[in-house]
Amino acid sequence: MSTSPRIAIDAMGGDEGLAVMLAGVARARRANDGMRFLLVGDEAQIREGLKTHPNLSAASEIVHAPETVAGAEKPSQAIRRAKTTSMGLAIQAVKSGEAGAAVSSGNTGALMAMSKLALRTMPGIDRPALAALLPSLGENDVVMLDLGANTECDTENLIQFAVMGAAYARSALELERPRVALLNIGTEELKGTDEIKDAAAMLREATHLPMNFTGFIEGDRLSRGEVDVIVCDGFSGNIALKTAEGTARFVTDLLRRAFTSSLRSKLGFIISRPAAELLRHHLDPNNHNGAVFLGLNGLVVKSHGGANEIGVANAIGVAARMVRDNLTARITEDLANFKAHQRPETHTA
Amino acid sequence: MSTSPRIAIDAMGGDEGLAVMLAGVARARRANDGMRFLLVGDEAQIREGLKTHPNLSAASEIVHAPETVAGAEKPSQAIRRAKTTSMGLAIQAVKSGEAGAAVSSGNTGALMAMSKLALRTMPGIDRPALAALLPSLGENDVVMLDLGANTECDTENLIQFAVMGAAYARSALELERPRVALLNIGTEELKGTDEIKDAAAMLREATHLPMNFTGFIEGDRLSRGEVDVIVCDGFSGNIALKTAEGTARFVTDLLRRAFTSSLRSKLGFIISRPAAELLRHHLDPNNHNGAVFLGLNGLVVKSHGGANEIGVANAIGVAARMVRDNLTARITEDLANFKAHQRPETHTA
């Protein structure tokens, strides 16, 4: 039974409330009994909640936070309450070294702003990125970044995202040499913006890094399982992620409409319910939970606001793997390697 | 029986060949017996093909084109063969006024390049845009533009796309005052690039135009039927369109996998086949066929490369409506209106 660094849990964040957060923590702990936690939030409520999770008490310490960041709160407001909110104090625990990572289901904008301010970007990284896991037809999920932390990105940003995304895929997906692609509007070398073309040219040269750069990928192939990491600017990444979510919902809505359109269809649907369940399971965001802010001096995982117990446990699992693999150090090392090997002629656009 | 301007058909373009193109033309003609056509391509082959479509002969004239643009041909190469290919001569017929619009299922890049070169952009339009119809949960399809004609777009481009998209929706969807939104990574006024924020500010003022500007829309709501026109730069539009296509395929692939996972599921699937057919019908690109190049001095419709007879007929229907509604004149009028009403303070960024 190894004792890994503790994970700080923003116990009050998210739409589902404290009980679901604690149930998720307890579930994560059942899967890995070396885990220890800092539960950050209202002490009395947490103490009460722990009564139903006897396996957690010995593994947890409570950090009292008198306030909670609201779901609709502006990041600029939330920042001012960093010393009193459960979210702020969970991030603080990462900064002070009391915890190896923080997990929150709370307000994404606030979490991003507070994390950036408290943890600062890593040496060699200009901007942090938000990375998430998407379902695919392949063996594993796909890492995609940036998903909206940055509206505009230059060539250097894209290269740094590729290095960070590959390090994250090695840890979260346990791949040795993840396949990395740049999101573009065509696969030919001449397609896309100058930033993307230049980033591709430089990544093609970076054969010494523990990744396999495969070139460009178009929006219609994101879920085919052909690559492990998809790199993009935050604007198109956000558009692609949300379009994929919306389209999956659109198709399942159409399906529901079609299946309830006649008695015969309803009967067929009831008989094939296990198949529909399989589909639902595969698309359920709880099974792909845990978006990560990469590029900070400390690990912060964003769990879906509406995550259930399984989703929270998955997000904690992502945090634990990153801590175990010392992701921040890996990224630093890969970046140093990339810079050391950069050939002078690839510096120019 | 009115005689509307003729539609030039690139009879040789597309993956499905001449027979499918002619079947699509014949189907369009059955739906509207006022239609007349210029069939552009190999004269002997067309003459042979017309034998099975007696309703077409009287309504058609053949324009012989000795060559065909290949599917993988570079636009720069295709341009040089504008005078000898079926695609080039179909566009030429629009330029000379012999036809009111051209329809091609051929190579998109070549069609766009040849159309731009032959027809030139309209006065007041800086760049043409590619617009298409997407399926939605609402009463009608949704117009989306630009889908990749322009990699980067400024504020003026986005405003012009909004005006053109609204005019197209009034014609293709037969709406009086289409709801228009800008694709963005959030719905708050502060979100997104400066180009998008400035375009939104100017469109909010344009209440005199025959459109209802509703603000920003995010990627997850494209198919909800809440707006009729979605405006975006060509990069994110292309990413969103392809991501939507890819995700729809991904979900239906998962569904197929799930439904064939057990005998019980297979049985359920067979019973509920009409429901699956309904879904397939709603998502079938042939039922939403007809992407349009807007902003040129002439109308050009791109039919899907793999369009079947129904798809080709739908693309021809789109072309016929645009001709009937004199779309180019409508756009010119709306643009003039927009400029006349522009308040001085909204001119600056």
Q: Is the pLDDT score of B278 beyond 80?
A: no
Please tell me which of the candidates A240, A245, A274 has its beta carbon nearest to residue B265: A274
Q: Assign domain A7-121+295-310 to its CATH superfamily.
A: Isopropylmalate Dehydrogenase (3.40.718.10)
Mean pLDDT, rounded, for B312-317? 94
Please tell me which of the candidates A238, A262, A283 has its beta carbon nearest to residue B185: A238
In the CATH hierarchy, which fold is given to the domain comprising B7-119+297-309?
Isopropylmalate Dehydrogenase (3.40.718)
Q: Is the pLDDT score of B195 beyond 70?
A: yes
CA distance B2 to chain A (A): 39
Q: Is the pLDDT score of A1 beyond 50?
A: no
Contacts of B183 in chain A (CB under 8 A): 239
Domain residue spans of chain A: 7-121+295-310, 129-285
Q: Is the pLDDT score of A271 beyond 50?
A: yes
Count Cβ atoms within 10 A of the Cβ of residue B69 and give its class: 0-12 exposed, 13-18 middle, 19 or more buried. buried
Contacts of A245 in chain B (CB under 8 A): 219-220
Mean pLDDT, rounded, for B30-50? 95
Higher-scoring residue by pLDDT: A186, A155 = A155
Cβ(B111)–Cβ(B104) below 8 Å: yes
- Chains A, B: CB contacts under 8 A, how many? 202
Residues 6+ apart with CB under 8 A from B313: B24, B25, B27, B28, B31
Task: Report ipTM for this prediction.
Answer: 0.84
Cβ(A16)–Cβ(A44) below 8 Å: no
Q: Residue A243 and residue B248: Cβ atoms within 8 Å?
A: no
**Angstrom distances, CA of residue A59 to CA of A44, A98, B8:** 18, 14, 75
Per-residue pLDDT tens digits for A119-157? 999 998 999 999 998 888 888 999 999 998 888 899 999
Q: Is the pLDDT score of B246 beyond 80?
A: yes
Per-residue pLDDT tens digits for B71-123? 889 999 999 999 999 999 999 999 999 999 999 999 988 999 999 999 999 99
Count Cβ atoms within 10 A of the Cβ of residue A333 and give its class: 0-12 exposed, 13-18 middle, 19 or more buried. middle
Residues 6+ apart with CB under 8 A from A329: none
Count Cβ atoms within 10 A of the Cβ of residue A347 and give its class: 0-12 exposed, 13-18 middle, 19 or more buried. exposed
Per-residue pLDDT tens digits for A31-48? 998 999 999 999 999 999
CA distance B266 to chain A (A): 7
CA distance A197 to chain B (A): 12
Q: Residue A219 and residue B241: Cβ atoms within 8 Å?
A: yes
Contacts of A251 in chain B (CB under 8 A): 247-248, 251-252, 279, 283
Contacts of B265 in chain A (CB under 8 A): 271-272, 274-275
Q: Is the pLDDT score of B346 beyond 70?
A: no
pLDDT value for A168:
93
What does the block give as tokens for A345? Answer: 């002629």
pLDDT value for A61:
96
Domains B7-119+297-309 and B129-285 share a fold: yes
Please tell me which of the candidates B148, B219, B279 has its beta carbon nearest to residue A243: B219
**Cα torsion B319, B324, B327, B328: sign:** positive
pLDDT value for A3:
55
pLDDT value for A348:
45
pLDDT value for A305:
86
Strand, helix or coil for residue A40:
strand
Per-residue pLDDT tens digits for B122-159? 998 999 999 998 888 888 999 999 998 888 899 999 99
Query: For all residues of chain A together, what is the average pLDDT?
Result: 89
CATH of A129-285, one of 3.40.718.10, 3.40.80.10, 3.40.50.300, 2.60.40.10: 3.40.718.10
pLDDT value for A255:
78
Chain A contact probe: residue of B239, B241, B287 with most A CBs at under 10 A:
B239
Q: Residue B276 and residue A283: Cβ atoms within 8 Å?
A: no
- Indicate the range of A161-175, B35-49, B161-175, B285-299 predicted with least confidence: B285-299
pLDDT value for A344:
56
Higher-scoring residue by pLDDT: B245, B230 = B230
Q: Residue A271 and residue B274: Cβ atoms within 8 Å?
A: no
pLDDT value for B1:
41
Mean pLDDT, rounded, for A265-275? 71
Query: CA nearest B259 in A: which residue?
Result: A275
Residue with tokens 């295709």: B78
Alpha carbons A230 and A220: distance in angstroms, whole number: 13
pLDDT-derived band at B261 (thresholds 50, 70, 90) equals: confident
Contacts of B148 in chain A (CB under 8 A): 185
Chain A contact probe: residue of B182, B185, B226, B253 with most A CBs at under 10 A:
B185
What does the block give as tokens for B264? Answer: 């019980």
Per-residue pLDDT tens digits for A65-104? 999 999 889 999 999 999 999 999 999 999 999 999 999 9
Contacts of A242 in chain B (CB under 8 A): 218-220
CA distance A72 to chain B (A): 12
Contacts of A148 in chain B (CB under 8 A): 185
Cβ(B164)–Cβ(B294) below 8 Å: yes
Q: Is the pLDDT score of A349 beyond 70?
A: no
Long-range contacts made by residues A73-81, C-beta under 8 angstroms, separation at least 24? A73/A107, A73/A110, A74/A109, A74/A110, A75/A107, A75/A109, A75/A110, A75/A112, A75/A113, A75/A114, A76/A113, A78/A107, A78/A109, A78/A110, A78/A113, A78/A114, A79/A110, A79/A113, A79/A114, A79/A117
Q: Residue B261 and residue A275: Cβ atoms within 8 Å?
A: yes
Contacts of A283 in chain B (CB under 8 A): 251, 254
